[in-house]
Amino acid sequence: MNTPLEASILETSQIAFAKLALGLLGEPWCFNQTEIEPLTPDGSLRRFCRLIREDGVQVIAIYPATNDANDLREAQAGWQIGRHLFACGAPVPEPLAFDETSGLLVYEDLGDIRLHDFVLRHGINSVEVAALYQQTVTKLARMQVRGSEDFNPTWCWDTPNYDRHVMLERESGYFLQAFCHDLLQLEVDEQALIQDFAQLADHAAQATASFFLHRDFQSRNIMVQQGIARFIDYQAGRLGPLAYDLASLLIDPYAALPPDMQDALLEQYLDVLTAITSYNREQFYQEYVLLAVQRNLQILGAFAFLSKQRGKPFFAQYLSPALHSLHRLLAKFPATEYLCLKSVTEQCLRTISSQ
């Protein structure tokens, strides 16, 4: 809980933040006739608030965590990629204003209901949830193809492409350090495990990587507004393989989609994809499993870091489901492949179930 002084500083900061946003928006926005509603993000250190005009019009303002160059580049990526996707017809919020000096962004407000909230409210087996997921995979395929057209890699603040380096450093390496070492404090055969990671990345990196990649496409980054799915948090977007974002959605531990639902959505996605671009289905199936494992390793690393290092217990409850998902995915490979990673995953399962 904030002390009175900290709360006062925070309030002052929010007011300054809101005034800057209103200045960017101009007429008919006026500070004295606008309500400021602070919002709490999931894992981000950025600051968010909702601005509500007297006539009910609402926008979302996002301020960088700091004013260092990296955070400002992230904000600029959000603005440039957002404008590109919106112009392509992707279901993203309309970018309304951007201040290059501070990195302040203002977007159309899509409300408070996320796809994850919708799943919790209606149940994973409901007709309403099935329809929303079908809508989502259809829109995803179109965004990936259309969003890659005229995409400028210089917009990206992190890396311009999803590649082998990202897989090893930000995903399998993240899993090893944040999950295995920092969280579970396991002793593993690191050399053998790194060899498995390298083999996995070698195979996964063979997928065509010329499509738009959201990089965090999961149910808490999909808003539901009057039955329509809209996508947020794309500022880490770059060029990459098709199957990664689909895997992110289908193995998402927040929603825990049943395997038969995952399979049906994968087939629907491919029907939409192959209607708008040429892609070999058998090739896609092979790429999907490899990239789903990569994504699963990233999820475990990120959730371990957020729960332990950032002190966000919300994420800890999803570590076991994500670990079971990794175990199921690895079972799809021949018995002789990724032996160390399979063994470490089973070791992790035993450790986490005993805690």
Encode pLDDT of 278-318 as tens digits.
999 999 999 999 999 999 999 999 999 999 999 999 999 99
Single-letter amino acid code for the residue at 9? I
Q: Return the pLDDT at 54.
A: 93
Q: What is the pLDDT of residue 354?
A: 85
Helices 242-250 & 281-308 angle (0-180, nearest 10): 60
2: confidence class by pLDDT, cuts 50, 70, 90: very low
| Separation of alpha carbons 24 and 17, rounded Å | 11
Q: 11 falls in which pLDDT band (50, 70, 90)?
A: low
CATH code of the domain made up of 115-353: 3.90.1200.10
Q: Is the pLDDT of residue 34 over 80?
A: yes
Which residues are registered as beta bridge partners of 97? 106
Closest listed residue to residue 42, CA positions, set 191, 204, 219, 279: 219
Annotated domain spans of the chain: 4-108, 115-353
pLDDT band at 355 (very low <50, low <70, confident <90, very high): confident
Owner of token pair 């309500």:
35
* 239 backbone φψ class: left, alpha, beta (φ>0; ψ -120 to 50): beta
CATH of 4-108 given 3.40.950.10, 3.30.200.20, 3.90.180.10, 3.90.1150.10: 3.30.200.20
pLDDT in tens, 255-268: 999 999 999 999 99
**CA–CA distance, 320 with 307 (Å, rounded to integer):** 13
Is pLDDT of 5 > 80? Answer: no
Sign of the Cα torsion 238, 94, 252, 267 reads negative
Count of other CB atoms within 10 angstroms of residue 35: 11
**pTM of the shown model:** 0.95
Using the structure block, give the residue that is written with the tokens 């993240």.
Answer: 174
Contact status, residue 234 vs residue 110, Cβ threshold 8 Å: no
What pLDDT is stored for residue 15 in this prediction?
86
**pLDDT tens track for 124-183:** 999 999 999 999 999 999 999 999 999 999 999 999 999 999 999 999 999 999 999 999
Q: What is the pLDDT of residue 8?
A: 45
Distance CA 96, CA 307 (A): 33
Q: Tokens at residue 272, please?
A: 């939409």
Is residue 110 scored above 70 in pLDDT? yes
Res 16: pLDDT? 86
> What number of residues does the chain have?
355
